């Protein structure tokens, strides 16, 4: 019966091409607008590190000290801590894994200066690469003894190794960074989170994750003049800190991230964090009550508006526009079906059930939805292209792919079936005798 209803639907579509054109164009415009907005929102949603970031938490507290330049109480405390506080939290070892970090932008090259590249990386205290699930291709990460002795060691990614040395196995080579030469002890696979969630106050408006091409112990980095991307917040008597300066001893610039499993572990660390911050406040170091709190990765992104609010607004507006298009299409379908009262009456008089009449008309609306989806295809591509031309941080996310194509057809089919339910139900509920009499 499905094949017969499908052939009948194709015949019906060819009978009134102007009406069909109006139906599919109205549906296509609504579906294309909604699909373009959903594509961007879907790309910017989900876990930044699938399977890992669900267990990651950042420690935040109001760590302003009485001598800070900006000493006002914060409504929502940030995550930046001085090196001493970050080390104190990490060294307690109360989480499954813990590390302090800050982003850095550095010129990394051969010691002879023949090859170099300006790349983003992370300064870290603690086993940060392991905690973030960074895959090692060659070598190893730094040992606790190397970290405590401030040994000048570094991990670089395979792309940077290939550019500098012509091979991705660069273990044992040296790279120049800042004022020192660092020994490469490990080569990692190219790594970047799906979304920016580390050091979000310094990401310069970036939404999508950035390639982090080197990992270096924080104190070894500072010794070599390698500083963070920005200095964070400094005390009044601190020297004027320039861009990427390593003179950050009197500044708050490090984030502490933790790997915690289960609500009990989170609650236990929350109590510990509050106790530590309260003790610093009682000792006179912190100027305000600490407001210590843990945020998971997704919650931290939301609190810092990493995904712009206009992305969600665009989805809601596109959904409202699609709903308006669906209402118009439903009205046009009702008018289209009611013109066939005589045909339906004859089918009912010959023994067709309401279910069969309903299925026939619903298959027709599903076919119209698929045709609308094919027309929406170039409209969606055009809409995403327009977004990519805009000066917005998430423009790169507006990418057309096979998943978008499949989602577009499924959405079009679903819209066609949904808008056809009421008109199909209405036409199959009319009494056959009344239909024949009116015919």
pLDDT at 198 over 80: yes
Please name the residue that has the structure tokens 């790279």.
175
Surface-to-core class of residue 126, CB atoms within 10 Å of its CB (0-12 exposed, 13-18 middle, 19+ buried): buried
Averaged pLDDT score across all residues of the chain: 84
Strand partners, 225: none
State the DSSP code for 200. Answer: G
- Cβ contact 60:85 at 8 Å: no
Residue 299 shares a structural domain with residue 312:
no
* Residue range 199-226: mean pLDDT, rounded: 84
Residue 267 shares a structural domain with residue 402:
no
Residue 167 shares a structural domain with residue 247:
yes
* Nearest one of 96, 97, 103 to 128, comparing CA atoms: 97
pLDDT at 332 over 60: yes
Q: What angle do CA 420, 423, 428 make, to 5 degrees?
A: 115
pLDDT at 17 over 70: yes
pLDDT at 58: 94
Residue 289 shares a structural domain with residue 410:
no
| Helix, strand or coil, per DSSP, at residue 387 | helix
Using one digit for the tens of pLDDT, what is the confidence trace for 247-295?
A: 787 888 899 999 999 999 999 999 999 999 999 988 888 888 888 999 9
- Cβ contact 184:156 at 8 Å: yes
Residue 231 shares a structural domain with residue 103:
yes
Please name the residue that has the structure tokens 């409209």.
379
Residue 299 shares a structural domain with residue 313:
no
pLDDT at 436 over 60: no
- Cβ contact 188:129 at 8 Å: yes
Phi, psi of 242, rounded to the nearest 5 degrees:
-85, 175
Residue 75 shares a structural domain with residue 184:
yes
Surface-to-core class of residue 341, CB atoms within 10 Å of its CB (0-12 exposed, 13-18 middle, 19+ buried): middle
Confidence band of 174 (pLDDT split at 50, 70, 90): very high
Least-confidence region, from 123-137, 343-357, 370-384: 343-357
Stronger pLDDT, 236 or 249, i.e. the higher one: 249
* Nearest one of 229, 196, 212, 110 to 155, comparing CA atoms: 212
Residue 184 shares a structural domain with residue 318:
no
Using one digit for the tens of pLDDT, what is the confidence trace for 309-328?
A: 788 888 899 889 888 888 88
Q: What angle do CA 416, 422, 427 make, to 5 degrees?
A: 110
Gyration radius of the chain over CA positions? 30
* Residue range 173-178: mean pLDDT, rounded: 93
pLDDT at 243: 65
Q: What's the total number of domains in the chain?
A: 2
Q: Which is it for strands 136-139 and 233-234: parallel, antiparallel or unpaired?
A: unpaired
Residue 147 shares a structural domain with residue 281:
yes
Please name the residue that has the structure tokens 């669900």.
54
pLDDT at 430 over 70: no
Domain edge (last residue) among 303, 335, 352: 303
Taking the model in full, what pTM does it have? 0.78
pLDDT at 331 over 60: yes
Residue 278 corresponds to which tokens in the numbers above? 């309260």
**Percent of the chain at pLDDT above 70?**
88
Residue 397 shares a structural domain with residue 291:
no
For 380, the domain range is 2-45+308-438
Residue 255 shares a structural domain with residue 380:
no
Confidence band of 389 (pLDDT split at 50, 70, 90): confident
Spatial distance between the Cα atoms of 119 and 211, rounded to a whole number of angstroms: 8
pLDDT at 384 over 80: yes
Surface-to-core class of residue 352, CB atoms within 10 Å of its CB (0-12 exposed, 13-18 middle, 19+ buried): middle
Residue 90 shares a structural domain with residue 211:
yes
pLDDT at 5 over 70: no
Least-confidence region, from 169-173, 374-378, 401-405, 429-433: 429-433
Q: How far is CA 250 from CA 216, 233, 246, 291, in A?
A: 21, 9, 11, 22
Domain edge (last residue) among 254, 282, 303: 303
Mapped to the 3 state alphabet, what secondary structure does 99-155 carry? EEEEEEEEEEECCCCCCEEEEEEEEEECCHHHHCCCCEEEECCCCHHHHHCCCCEEE
Spatial distance between the Cα atoms of 57 and 143, rounded to a whole number of angstroms: 23
Helices 309-338, 354-388: axis angle to 10 degrees equals 140
pLDDT at 181: 94
């Amino acid at each position: 019966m499905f094949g017969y209803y499908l052939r009948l639907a194709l015949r019906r579509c060819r009978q009134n091409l102007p009406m069909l054109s109006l139906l599919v164009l109205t549906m296509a415009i609504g579906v294309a607008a909604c699909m373009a907005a959903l594509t961007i929102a879907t790309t910017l949603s989900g876990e930044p590190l699938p399977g890992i970031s669900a267990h990651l938490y950042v420690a935040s507290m109001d760590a302003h000290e009485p001598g800070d330049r900006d000493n006002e109480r914060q409504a929502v405390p940030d995550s930046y801590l001085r090196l001493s506080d970050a080390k104190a939290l990490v060294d307690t070892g109360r989480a499954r894994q813990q590390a302090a970090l800050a982003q850095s932008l550095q010129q990394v090259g051969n010691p002879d200066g023949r090859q170099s590249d300006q790349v983003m990386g992370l300064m870290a205290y603690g086993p940060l690469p392991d905690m973030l699930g960074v895959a090692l291709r060659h070598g190893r990460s730094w040992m606790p003894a190397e970290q405590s002795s401030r040994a000048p060691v570094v991990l670089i990614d395979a792309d940077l190794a290939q550019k500098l040395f012509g091979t991705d196995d660069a273990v044992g080579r040296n790279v120049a960074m800042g004022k020192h030469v660092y020994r490469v002890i490990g080569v990692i696979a190219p790594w970047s989170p799906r979304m920016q969630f580390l050091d979000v106050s310094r990401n310069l408006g970036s939404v999508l994750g950035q390639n982090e091409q080197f990992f270096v112990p924080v104190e070894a980095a500072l010794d070599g003049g390698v500083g963070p991307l920005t200095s964070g917040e400094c005390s009044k008597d601190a020297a004027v800190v320039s861009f990427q300066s390593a003179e950050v001893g009197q500044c708050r610039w490090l984030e502490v991230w933790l790997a915690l499993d289960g609500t009990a572990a989170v609650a236990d660390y929350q109590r510990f964090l509050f106790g530590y911050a309260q003790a610093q406040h009682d000792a006179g170091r912190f100027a305000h009550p600490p407001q210590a709190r843990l945020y998971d990765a997704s919650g931290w992104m939301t609190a810092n508006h990493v995904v712009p609010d206009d992305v969600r607004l665009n989805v809601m507006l596109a959904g409202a526009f699609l709903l308006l298009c669906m209402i118009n299409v439903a009205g046009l379908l009702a008018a289209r079906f009611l013109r066939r009262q005589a045909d339906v009456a004859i089918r009912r008089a010959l023994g067709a059930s309401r279910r069969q009449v309903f299925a026939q008309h619903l298959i027709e609306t599903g076919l119209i939805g698929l045709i609308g989806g094919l027309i929406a295809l170039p409209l969606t591509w055009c809409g995403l292209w327009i977004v990519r031309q805009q000066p917005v941080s998430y423009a790169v996310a507006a990418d057309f792919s096979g998943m978008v194509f499949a989602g577009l057809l499924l959405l079009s089919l679903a819209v066609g079936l949904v808008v056809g339910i009421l008109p199909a139900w209405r036409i199959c509920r009319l009494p056959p005798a009344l239909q024949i009499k009116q015919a």
